[in-house]
Structure 1
Amino acid sequence: MKFSCFFKSIIPLILIGLQGFAQAGITASPSKIYYRLPVGGTSTQKVSVINPIGKNLEVGVSLGDWDYDTLGTNNLHDPATLKTSCANWVKVLPGSYFTLLPEEQKELTIELTVPITADKNIPVHTAMLYFTQLNPVDSKSENGASIKVSVRMGIKIYHSFTQADERNVEVINFTDKKKVKLGSNGLLELKIENTGKIWLDGKVMWELLNIQNGEKIKMENVPFLSLPGDKTTLVMELPANLKKGHYSATAIVNYGNKDELKVVELEFET
């Protein structure tokens, strides 16, 4: 197995609870809000909360922490427990409780103030803003059973000290894994690290080349999200109908605009 890496430079709304019942309670947007402020700075953003149903909804507002695990999945934590937390920097106006009339839309002001004691060695701070439906509503499950549904929506908050987007990704490893389950031809595993100073919203594009006959096989793109310092593992299943042979796999990591790419190659046999 041979692995090589080179660099090319051309100069959800989170629903926590029962999915499938979106119209059973509150909706909120946008799904993410961003602040770029120096130490001591204050700024505000607007968030809209909507009641899409025909009864009053009581809504509670709270804050928490979050981060990503190595697979890029959200981990939720209590507020102000992570060193990257900015939960204590956030104020929600007019307050932490309100009522939405049927089909009413309410606009809230989300104010973030960076304390003078903020650690500038941590380039990105985050928090999660929750809107929780306090009075459950009647709904139906997929099999028609009557249930009570309460919805909690999460909006991610990001803070950076700088206006500049200092993006960078380093490839830690690129390898093939043999058959890991019945009917599998194995998989490709790419490990990357966000070595920049900003959040990333990227994707990996995959391609196989049969070195013996020149056949190219393109596979689905895999999106990824990461924060500075995150190490992320991205996995691509090899096609089930992949013929035995000698292959070259290419993974193109797009971590910013179209010109910010890392390209890695791997040779393997099936």
Structure 2
Amino acid sequence: MVAQRINVNPTILSFNASAGQSATQILTVTNLSDKVQAYQLSLGDWIRDTTGEHRYYAPNTTKRSCAAWVSFDNPVIEVEPQKSRDVRVTLNVPADSMATKEMKWAMIFIQNVKEQTGDDNKAGKMKATIKEIYRIGIHVYQTPPTVTKKEAKAISLVQDKVNKDLYDFTMVNTGMTMLDCKVRLVLTDLASGTEIKLEEQAFPVFPGGIRLIKLEIPKTVPKGKYSMLGILEYDPDMPLEAIESSFEKK
């Protein structure tokens, strides 16, 4: 991930720790600028809303937060120009079976720290303040090894109330793990039987999450009456979820 003049790798830290276990991964922060830079690491909570947008919250305030379990070997690092520094990120899971009954997640924020001089600089002192210039986020996922259930349900497929060329496909993750989903429309001309497979959309959904995907009927689709099948794929080993509707292209 590159934001301004910083590169952070990886952008996702996935843990599979059991109760009472500690696990550590490495974040590599690279300063791509021509000056020494200092960076501060902090934690926060977040969710995805029904449109897939991220919503951010203070750490340890959401139901599935694991922010309290995450620590750094150094929350502030200084990196020379064109150099990299590693940060050890450790996740400590409480020795409590309730802590591993479900998937949890958090966000690591990395922002640069700018050193500024104050009025007392004339006296030979330097006043340091933190000024946020840019901030990037690293996803942290904790999925216990016993949490494996994958399941999803297609809820509805209805025409958008504003744009008649859009259809709103709604699904819910009824399983216990995050799902990497794909959804697509398959149209069948009721007169000729011709089948048209439209482009699929990919998206992630947290456990318990509801997602609404807007699927567009291309203007290139010929006029006529069609049956329409919204197909949801979320795991190669699980059956497809589908929901049927119909429409007329005029």
**Residue 190 and residue 85 in structure 1: after superposition, are their counterparts in 2 closer, same or farther (change >3 A)?**
same
Change (3 A) 1:259 1:118: closer
- What's the TM-score, normalizing by structure 1? 0.79
Cα pair 1:59 1:99 within 8 Å, conserved: yes
TM alignment of 1:1-40, pairs within 5 A:
13=1, 22=2, 24-40=4-20
Aligned mate of 2:167, from 185, 188, 193: 188
Between the aligned partners of 1:115 and 1:194, the Cα distance in structure 2 is: 26
Matched to 1:250, the amino acid is: L
Question: Following TM superposition, by how much is the alpha carbon of 1:23 offset from its aligned partner in structure 2, in angstroms?
Answer: 6.5
- The equivalent residue for 2:58 is 78
1:196 is paired with a residue whose SS is coil
Q: What stretches of structure 2 of length at least 5 have no aligned partner?
A: 116-130
Q: How does 1:1-270 map to 2 (within 5 A)?
A: 13=1, 22=2, 24-93=4-73, 95-117=74-96, 119-120=98-99, 123-135=102-114, 150-163=133-146, 165-177=148-160, 180-181=162-163, 185-257=164-236, 260-270=239-249
Letter in 1 for 2:26: K
- Distance in 2 (alpha carbons) for counterparts of 1:118 and 1:163: 11
Taking a change above 3 Å as real, the CA distance of residues 267 and 24 of structure 1, as seen in their structure-2 partners, is closer
Distance 2:101 2:209 in 1: 13
Q: Distance in 1 between matches of 2:104 and 2:52?
A: 17
Assess, with a 3 A threshold, how the Cα gap between structure 1 residues 227 and 251 changes in structure 2: closer, same or farther. Answer: same
Instruction: Specify the SS of the correspondent of 1:131.
Output: strand
Provide the alpha-carbon RMSD of the alignment: 2.3
- Give TM-score scaled by structure 2 length: 0.85
| Shift, 1:160, TM fit | 1.5
SS of equivalent residue, structure 1 residue 107: strand
Q: Which moved more, 1:115-124 or 1:72-81?
A: 115-124
8 Å CA contact 2:101, 2:147 repeated in 1: no
Distance 2:113 2:240 in 1: 45
The 1-side partners of 2:156 and 2:98 are apart by 31
**Greater shift in the superposed pair: 257-266 or 45-54:** 257-266
Whole-Å Cα distance in 2 between the matches of residues 132 and 269 of structure 1? 51
Q: Secondary structure at the match of 1:71?
A: coil
SS in 1 for 2:68: helix
More divergent stretch after superposition (40-49 vs 208-217): 208-217
**For residues 192 and 73 of structure 1, do their structure 2 counterparts lie closer, same or farther at Cα, with a shift above 3 Å needed?**
same
Deviations 1:143-182 (A, max 9, x none): xxxxx9933121100112225532110111122336x24x
* Alignment partners' CA distance in 2, 1:121 and 1:70: 26
The sequence identity of aligned pairs, in percent, is 28
Cα shift at 1:263: 2.8
Amino acid at match of 1:130: F
Q: 1:249 offset after TM fit, Å?
A: 1.5
> Mind listing any 5+ residue stretches in structure 1 that lack a counterpart?
1-12, 14-21, 137-147
Q: How far off is 1:109 after superposition?
A: 1.0
> Which of 161-170 and 203-212 deviates more?
161-170
Contact 2:93 2:99 survives alignment (8 Å): no
Amino acid at match of 2:77: F
Count matched residues: 234
1:32 CA drift (Å): 0.8
Larger gyration radius, structure 1 or structure 2: 2
Deviations 1:221-260 (A, max 9, x none): 1111111100111111211243432111122211123755
Distance of 1:121 and 1:110 partners within structure 2 = 19
